[in-house]
Structure 1
Amino acid sequence: MSGTITARVATSSGHPLPAAVMTVMSATGEQQAVLRGDDGGAITTDALDAGTYTVVITADGFAPTARTAVVNGAGQVSLGTIAVTRSGGAPVPAAGSWEIDPGHSTVEISVRHFGIATIKGRFTDFSGRIEVPEDVEASSVSAQISTASIDTDNQTRDGHLRSAAFFDVEQYPLAEFRATRVCPGSDDTWRLAGHLTLRGTSVPVDLNLSYLGEVDDPWGGRQAAFRATGTLQRNDFGISFDDKLISGVAQIGGTASVDLEIQAIRTP
């Protein structure tokens, strides 16, 4: 009788870890398999004889993690998601100035609609700068977003969002985010503490920040990538549109989720 062992490897914040390697050892210490995860961090062994196995997960920059798997017969033994912790704390970008590349970045927001669905939109016109000193916790971020550039793939809805009921783009054409403090979060994330100014109102906003690495581009430059997520309460900015359905459910949720995928270019 035989079975397979499967697992998904992720960081402590839930991001898949495609570079992870699973090594499977028998109860007598013999190596049975060495496998690398796919893009989603998933790993599945070939068929293994019934028995007890030690599964060791390794990845560059992360502490090794071990699990025990008991294969009783035909079928799949799932170890679920195995979260690995980074060795030496969260990674950081190289010190220096980085300019956000809007052509390879996205600024997306999403809100609940009718309490049952999610509407997503993105801002297509934005710019910003990231300053990383030797003391990474003293890093700063400044970004500007054209509120008129909101795009939800629906012209009627976009027009409503640009009106005084929402972003009021004629009176407040820019939203600005500024942060001057970065604090360690988990073993592979940071907390970016800043203020967002929207419709003339400045509100403290914290973002969960992940540094995704950097690479030399084909044109002699250096590029880095970041991901940030957070939530906003629209009433904090005076966006009080509160039409409700007959059932009392708000047409548009009061909480907006923010998802940023940022690519930045090192500048002199």
Structure 2
Amino acid sequence: MSGTITARVSTSTGRALEGAVMTVMSQAGEQQAIVRADADGALVAADIGTGTYTAVITAEGYQPTARVAVVSGSGALNLGQITAARAGGAPVPATGRWEIDPGHSTIEISVRHFGIATIRGRFGDFTGQIEVAEDIEKSAVIAEIKTASIDTDNRTRDDHLRSDAFFDAEQYPIAEFRASQVRPSTDEAWTLSGTLTLRGTAVPVSLELTYLGEVDDPWGGHRAGFRATGSLQRNDFGISFDDKLISGVAQIGSTATVSLDIQAVRTSS
């Protein structure tokens, strides 16, 4: 005779934790079932024989949660609502709207050159807003970068990057990043998922985000610091420049690393 173990898993704010995993273990330590939560956070482990089990619920960035499940016959044993606690308890910024301060922020991009060195550049003209929600995972970011503002400390190279071989700054003067999904990834870091539109092409992009704290500035403002890193595949945006050396090594690598150090000023609560 066998039964079914069910549960629903969510965050502390009630958001369904899709993709959470429930592993059902026997008292002898043998795995009986492993299932993933659906979009509603529902977990269903079927065909579980009678006996006493431990159901362990895990999700990336959250503390494991265990429940005892006693299956006594056919039918469903409902473990009820399980609330997952975020791992680490890392601090989060104050809720409200924050305006990126471009004068005290940097957006840097780097690529491999000839396979032996790294070329770095910065975008000098950009704006952006950060909306921190009560449920931190529902926070949002929007940023606009003027592609013509690229600066690699080499005028000839910068003009080439502004041309249609790369950013095509004349036809596509703005690169836009929008994100509305923030998820914990480690005890101190988050994954910010969004879409980068460059050269008219929108591509999903994820950044590893670290919150650096807050401080009152000398001008009466309240500031927060953030650091984010990620990588882009230039071919995804139609940048297919592929000149190679005689050895076959590409002049410019296909992967670009982006690094952001951001200061933002709180404009509303």
TM-score (structure 1 length as normaliser): 0.67
Quick one: structure 1 residues 254 and 89, their matched pair in 2 at CA, closer, same or farther if it must change by over 3 Å? same
Please tell me whether the aligned partners of residues 90 and 186 of structure 1 are also in contact (alpha carbons under 8 angstroms): no
Give the Å deviation of 1:88: 4.1
Q: Distance in 2 between matches of 1:113 and 1:128?
A: 30
The corresponding residue for 1:254 is: 254
Amino acid aligned to 2:164: A
The corresponding residue for 2:155 is: 155
- Residues 1:166 and 2:161 aligned together: no
CA RMSD between the two structures: 1.1
Aligned residues: 183
SS of corresponding position for 1:240? coil
**Per-residue deviation, residues 159-181 of structure 1 (Å, max 9, x unmatched):** 00000000000100000000000
Q: Distance in 2 between matches of 1:161 and 1:232?
A: 16
- Residues 1:226 and 2:226 aligned together: yes
Give the Å deviation of 1:87: 8.0
Q: Distance in 1 between matches of 2:185 and 2:88?
A: 13
Amino acid aligned to 2:213: G
Give the Å deviation of 1:150: 0.2
Q: Distance in 2 between matches of 1:265 and 1:182?
A: 20
Q: Distance in 1 between matches of 2:201 and 2:104?
A: 29
Task: Structure 2: state its 5+ residue gaps.
Answer: 1-85
- 1:10-89 paired onto structure 2 within 5 Å: 88-89=88-89
Amino acid aligned to 1:145: I
Q: Distance in 1 between matches of 2:233 and 2:241?
A: 12
Please tell me whether the aligned partners of residues 87 and 186 of structure 2 are also in contact (alpha carbons under 8 angstroms): no
TM-score (structure 2 length as normaliser): 0.67
**Per-residue deviation, residues 47-90 of structure 1 (Å, max 9, x unmatched):** xxxxxxxxxxxxxxxxxxxxxxxxxxxxxxxxxxxxxxx98422
Q: Distance in 2 between matches of 1:198 and 1:252?
A: 18
SS of corresponding position for 2:258? strand
Q: Distance in 2 between matches of 1:111 and 1:249?
A: 14
Q: Distance in 2 between matches of 1:90 and 1:248?
A: 46
SS of corresponding position for 1:141? strand
Q: Distance in 2 between matches of 1:134 and 1:111?
A: 37
The percentage of aligned residue pairs carrying the same residue is: 76
**Per-residue deviation, residues 151-197 of structure 1 (Å, max 9, x unmatched):** 00000000000000000001000000000000001000000000000
Please tell me whether the aligned partners of residues 90 and 190 of structure 1 are also in contact (alpha carbons under 8 angstroms): no
Please tell me whether the aligned partners of residues 88 and 188 of structure 2 are also in contact (alpha carbons under 8 angstroms): no
**Per-residue deviation, residues 87-117 of structure 1 (Å, max 9, x unmatched):** 8422210001000000000000000000000
**Per-residue deviation, residues 122-171 of structure 1 (Å, max 9, x unmatched):** 00000000000110000000000000000000000000000000000010
Q: Distance in 1 between matches of 2:88 and 2:204?
A: 30
Amino acid aligned to 1:124: G
The range that moved more, 244-253 or 212-221, is: 212-221
Amino acid aligned to 1:157: R
The corresponding residue for 1:144 is: 144
Task: Structure 1: state its 5+ residue gaps.
Answer: 1-85
Q: Distance in 1 between matches of 2:123 and 2:168?
A: 15
Q: Distance in 1 between matches of 2:238 and 2:106?
A: 25
The corresponding residue for 2:123 is: 123
SS of corresponding position for 2:235? helix
The corresponding residue for 1:216 is: 216
Amino acid aligned to 1:95: T
Q: Distance in 2 between matches of 1:261 and 1:89?
A: 23
Q: Distance in 2 between matches of 1:134 and 1:182?
A: 12
Q: Distance in 2 between matches of 1:152 and 1:132?
A: 33
Amino acid aligned to 1:91: P
Stretches of 4+ aligned residues off by more than 3 angstroms: none
